[in-house]
Structure 1
């Protein structure tokens, strides 16, 4: 047992879980670059490390979201009717996202991820709320919105919060409700995306031992255990304090991670 690896993964899971509960983002934007670094250092096939990092991160969100949404639900903040309306499109989109990722080589996928993280960090740093100018759309519009959220989240291995939270805010949903509902949406995103990554990775012969499709199981177990512990703490923090300052700090961290993924794309 490589205890140094376990320790690093525990730290990553702790940070990712807290971020998931605090900001409703699923933790993937933090986890993917660090998992990429670890898989690269351990000599995993270079053409697969980004795919595996995204798939493993997405799988952890299944557990993080359950832990986070339980805390949000206790505060009565989750809008379950909204979850039910967005979930069908999300399930389909989250299956398609990893399929799109499979068509990309590691450099292109790293570039897509870096651009997404840089955009998300800018959105967080500016902290400009979309003007609530309309109500939530009817079923067809919610299905389409869910599909877009699912495709992007499945492609980059994130929980979709940076799309779903602004979308709900734009539709007159209060920010605490939007964050809590986004946390609940993390589970269907992660479930469909994980099954997709398993399915499309089963035929890959270059994967390291203990992989299930593109998911590296030892990392999944350790990160999920840590993130499930910290996600409720992040969710409780979100209800007790203004998170604007924490968002700015987190945005700077995301910029640094985006730079690494840009380097990975062009190295």
Structure 2
């Protein structure tokens, strides 16, 4: 049974890697719900399953987004000014999200996140049709946006691509550069959030074996070992597909995630 579970996680990692390279997401939107279903089979106590899923997802996103970012940098799919403006807020927000997770009722988080993702998906659909975009806001506003994105993403166990890419696309950043910049920021965001969850996990008395804080190492290694190998396939697709196609595909993925989150 344990071997079969690890095989499932390896396959999951392969899917996550392709999506990370293609869409600039770290894969947490897929990893978190998958781990919430699978962790009880590893005898993870239900009272810490959510925290273990979030922390393990962020640990996977660190490596997946880093691999995706490396390939996007090679393809010059990034914007240095955007990264410099977003990154400080993203780091602060990512670390803060792990602290907020300690006192926010977990049953509220999926509904809040689902609503935000739904609004972003609808906005992206409208931007594809109208072609109207805004210029990037001031550095101070972008810093604040990065902090909000970082906090929400850490709370949801994701790298922030599902929030950063629509934000950048809305503000006239070319889609491929938005995806690449999101991958770079997402790797740092996930690292910040993961460290916060590890710090909090050291105070838990119910941690299972083979865990570092709330990060469950068997699941982490199974997912990350495959995801870092498949990101380059997604990057190749992102470099060849037209920007409107990427927008529509990303918006459809967001709609599916939002619907699943709000309904469940």
Mapping 1:1-267, distance limit 5 Å: 2-115=2-115, 126=125, 128-129=127-128, 131-138=132-139, 140-242=140-242, 243-244=245-246, 246-247=249-250, 250-251=253-254, 254=257, 257-258=260-261, 263=264
Unaligned runs of 5+ in 1: none
Shift of 1:73: 1.1
* Range that drifts further, 236-245 or 247-256: 247-256
Give the TM-score taking structure 2 as reference length.
0.87
1:224-264 Cα deviation digits (max 9, x unpaired) = 111101111111111112445644764575357526xx54x
Is the CA contact (8 Å cut-off) linking 2:32 and 2:54 kept in structure 1?
A: yes
Cα 1:122–1:27 shift into 2, 3 Å: farther
Moved more, 98-107 or 245-254: 245-254
Distance 1:248 1:175, change over 3 A: closer
Give SS of 2:46's match. coil
CA shift at 1:81, angstroms?
2.9
Work out the CA distance in 1 between the residues paired with 2:121 and 2:46.
Answer: 26
1:121 Cα offset (Å): 5.9
Comparing 213-222 and 36-45, the one that deviates more? 36-45
Q: How far apart in 2 are the matches of 1:167 and 1:181?
A: 12
**Structure 2 alignment gaps of length 5 or more:** none
Q: 1:251 to 1:111 in 2, by over 3 A?
A: closer
Task: Measure the CA separation in 2 of the matches of 1:120 and 1:94.
Answer: 20
Q: After TM superposition, what 4+ stretches of structure 1 lie above 6 angstroms from structure 2?
A: none
1:60/1:220 contact within 8 Å kept:
yes
User: For this pair of structures, how many residues does the alignment match?
Assistant: 259
